[in-house]
């Protein structure tokens, strides 16, 4: 059937009327206060906090990035007339994270190009990779404390966590891109460093999802409720120590190709180790891509995310 002119005019009029009457202020408030429990917060500007406002382009890609990378920062402000009050504001993580990682990566590149000697290059590359890998897992795992379990249960948990992990993987990739580039540039005159760049690529595909799974297994950290109140005191157990051991083991696996390539620098006669390093790197990349596909893309990941929901409920998440 083809709709008549009167029906078309009627439908267009309803569409224009519905767009004109959308409660934009209410939708904006819900987008800022996603859980609907913080209530109306006093308006506060960055200038009053002594900071310089930073604007983002009003384009669809940046709107997607803003929606997937913002967080509520709640802190106390002391004002003599009104006493202490809680203020909640949304800060885009890229505004903080990108300048920080980029500046450190640039400093690392300059140091790697100026420093001569294999020993200094080894110390610089190994120490930096150890710090990046450890901090990545620690901070990535800690973000699970702000998760709201009822939100994942209100929809399909598998699809919810797949979207979450997809966004977290994108954030991690953008954050580590300066360091991947730094190791690649260092590899131009210190060849083993290229394998650290490949190790970070594998880490990008594994760490976002795996960090939440290992954090849930350890039962740490406890959920952070509104106003930054922890659901229970922080405790330490054997599981937490096992997780630390797991992080060190996975890091050693990622650095194995680097270590084999380093042997060829000290012992040129072991040139076959370079081929083994390349093959092992390819295997690690394929395994990481397979994990990313299974956890984020495939519908078969229902089992691991159902386990995550059950585990979080066991340790007191709501």
- pLDDT tens for 201-232 read 999 999 999 999 999 998 878 888 776 677 77
Contacts 24+ apart (CB under 8 A), 302-309: 302/158, 304/213, 305/157, 305/158, 305/160, 305/161, 305/162, 306/157, 306/158, 308/157, 308/161, 308/212, 308/213, 308/216, 309/149, 309/152, 309/153, 309/157
Contacts of 44 (CB under 8 A, 6+ apart): 77, 87, 89
- Least confident residue range of 30-34, 235-239, 314-318: 30-34
pLDDT, mean over the chain: 79
Find the mean pLDDT for residues 119-136. Answer: 93
Kindly report which listed range (91-100, 255-264, 283-292) carries the lowest average pLDDT score.
Answer: 91-100
89: confidence class by pLDDT, cuts 50, 70, 90:
low
Q: What percent of the chain has pLDDT over 90?
A: 34
Name the more confident of 157 and 312. 312
Q: What is the pLDDT of residue 45?
A: 44
Question: Given this model, what pLDDT does residue 251 score?
Answer: 93
Confidence at residue 77, expressed as pLDDT on a 0 to 100 scale: 54
Work out the percent of the chain whose per-residue pLDDT is above 70.
74
Q: Is the pLDDT of residue 50 over 50?
A: no
Model's pTM, two decimal places?
0.73
For residue 14, the model assigns a pLDDT of: 75
* Res. 46: pLDDT tops 60: no
pLDDT tens digits for 249-285? 999 999 999 999 999 988 888 888 999 999 999 999 9
> Considering only 44-58, 161-175, 246-260, which range has the smallest mean pLDDT?
44-58
Lowest mean pLDDT among 10-14, 59-63, 77-81: 77-81
Q: What is the pLDDT of residue 5?
A: 74
* Higher pLDDT pick, 184 / 51: 184
> Looking at residues 58-65, what average pLDDT do you find?
60
The answer to whether 70 and 85 have CB atoms below 8 angstroms apart is: no
Predicted confidence band at 179 (pLDDT cuts at 50, 70, 90)? Answer: very high
Q: How confident is the model at residue 40 (pLDDT cuts 50, 70, 90)?
A: very low
- By CB atoms closer than 10 A (0-12, 13-18, 19+), residue 315 is middle
User: What is d(CA 317, CA 313) in angstroms, rounded to the nearest whole number?
Assistant: 5
Least-confidence region, from 8-22, 111-125, 179-193: 8-22
Judged against a pLDDT cut of 80, whether residue 159 lies above it is answered with yes
Indicate whether 103 pLDDT > 90: yes
Contact 186, 193 (CB under 8 A): yes
Long-range contacts of 218-222 (CB under 8 A, 24+ apart): 218/242, 218/243, 219/311, 219/314, 219/315, 221/141, 221/142, 221/144, 221/145, 222/145, 222/315, 222/316
């Amino acid at each position: 059937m083809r709709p008549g002119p009167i029906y078309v005019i009627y439908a267009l009029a309803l569409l224009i009327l519905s767009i004109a009457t959308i409660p934009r202020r209410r939708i904006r408030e819900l987008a800022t206060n996603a859980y609907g429990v913080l209530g109306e917060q006093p308006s506060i500007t960055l200038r009053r906090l002594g900071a310089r406002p930073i604007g983002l382009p009003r384009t669809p890609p940046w709107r997607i990035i803003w929606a997937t990378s913002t967080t509520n920062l709640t802190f106390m402000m002391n004002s003599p007339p009104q006493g202490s009050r809680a203020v909640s504001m949304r800060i885009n993580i890229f505004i903080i994270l990108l300048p920080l990682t980029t500046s450190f990566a640039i400093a690392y590149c300059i140091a790697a190009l100026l420093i001569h000697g294999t020993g200094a290059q080894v110390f610089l590359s190994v120490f930096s990779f150890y710090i990046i890998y450890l901090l990545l897992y620690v901070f990535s795992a800690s973000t699970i404390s702000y998760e709201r379990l009822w939100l994942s249960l209100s929809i399909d948990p598998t699809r919810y966590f797949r979207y979450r992990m997809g966004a977290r993987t994108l954030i991690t990739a953008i954050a580590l891109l300066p360091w991947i580039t730094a190791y690649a540039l260092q590899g131009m005159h210190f060849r083993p460093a290229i394998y650290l760049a490949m190790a970070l690529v594998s880490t990008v595909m594994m760490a976002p999802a795996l960090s939440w799974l290992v954090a849930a297994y350890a039962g740490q950290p406890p959920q952070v409720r509104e106003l930054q109140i922890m659901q229970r005191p922080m405790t330490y157990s054997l599981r937490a120590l096992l997780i630390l051991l797991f992080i060190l083991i996975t890091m050693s696996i990622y650095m194995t190709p680097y270590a084999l390539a380093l042997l060829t620098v000290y012992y040129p006669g072991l040139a076959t180790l370079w081929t083994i390093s390349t093959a092992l790197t390819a295997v690690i990349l394929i395994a990481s891509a397979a994990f990313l596909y299974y956890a984020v893309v495939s519908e078969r990941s229902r089992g691991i995310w159902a386990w995550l929901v059950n585990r979080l409920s066991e340790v007191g998440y709501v």
